[in-house]
Every structure is written in structure tokens, then in C-alpha cells.
Amino acid sequence: MSSSDTDNLTQLGGASALSATPEEAVLEKVANPVADAPYLVRFTVPEFTSLCPVTGQPDFAHLVIDYAPDQWIVESKSLKLYLGSFRNHGAFHEACTVMIGQRLVAEINPLWLRIGGYWYPRGGMPIDVFYQYGSVPDGLWVPEQGVAPYRGRG
């Protein structure tokens, strides 16, 4: 990666505070360093938190984000800070999961993306939410997300 690829990055390599809301959070991208090869990027977020929009109580999820990059990849520190901005964000599980997937699509325009939101129980039952953009590119190896159905998930 050349310095020109990282000149536009504002969060990498220094102190960065969490944004107050996901809308204010900055997602940064860099040029795909292997744009000539189909490959999959996976981010696993086992301790995602947001707030219930009705009660204000915390909600917890295990997120798995898979994508096949085109010209851009998401810079991982900015993704971590973006996901952290949900800590005080009140939204239903469905809204949080889909919002994250759609924001990534808008920022990096991947060939394909999927997000699995494996939410811990609210009201006695877990809610799993899945979002996909595009079709899996031919020849791309896409492993299972590896999150077991809820049984005291851990």
C-alpha cells in the first residue's frame, strides 16, 4: 500500500473517539491491494451492542460480515469505530443489521456482501437477521459463518 492510498485516512495510526451515532461515524476505504483476484474478507464481531428502541436496555449480537471486494476494501479501524457507535443507538435488531450492510455497500461498493446478525435473546428468544447484496462471484469460496443456533450461544 503506498502513502497515497492512506493519505485520506483520518483514524488509522492515532487516537480516535467513538462517534455519538452511526450516522456521524466515518467509514474509510482504501484501494483493494489485490483487485485482480477474487477473495473474501470476513469480519467477526462477537460483542456488538446497541440499545432497544423501546426500553433503552442493551442488546447484544454476534455479527459476521463477509464481502468480496471490488475496487475498495473497508479500513478495519474505521469499521470498528463505526460498529462501536451503535452502543448508544436505539434500533431494532433488523434495523441495525441491515443498516450496517447497506452502509458498507454504499461506502465500498463490493461485488457481494452478506451480514449475519446473531442476536442474543430479547423477550426470551434470539432473533437472527441476515442481509445480502449481490450474488456470490463465480469461483469464490464462501465458508459457513460458523455461528451455531442459539443454545446459550457463546
State the Cα–Cα distance between residues 145 and 42, nearest whole angstrom: 9
State the Cα–Cα distance between residues 53 and 138, nearest whole angstrom: 40
pLDDT of amino acid 148: 83
- Provide the CATH number for the domain formed by 19-133 in this structure: 3.30.1130.10
Whether 96 sits among the annotated catalytic residues: the reply is no
| Close Cβ partners of 112 (under 8 Å, ≥ 6 residues apart) | 67, 68, 132, 133, 134, 135, 136, 137, 140
Catalytic residue among 5, 7, 36, 52: 52
- Ramachandran region, residue 110 (left: φ > 0; alpha: ψ -120 to 50; beta: rest): beta
| Neighbour count for residue 16 (Cβ, 10 Å) | 15
Whether 52 sits among the annotated catalytic residues: the reply is yes
Which regions in the chain score pLDDT beneath 70?
1-7, 9-14, 151-154
CA distances from 69 to 94, 102, 117 (A): 24, 15, 20
pLDDT of amino acid 1: 45
Kindly report the pTM of this predicted structure. Answer: 0.90
Catalytic residue among 59, 66, 70, 128: 59
pLDDT of amino acid 154: 55
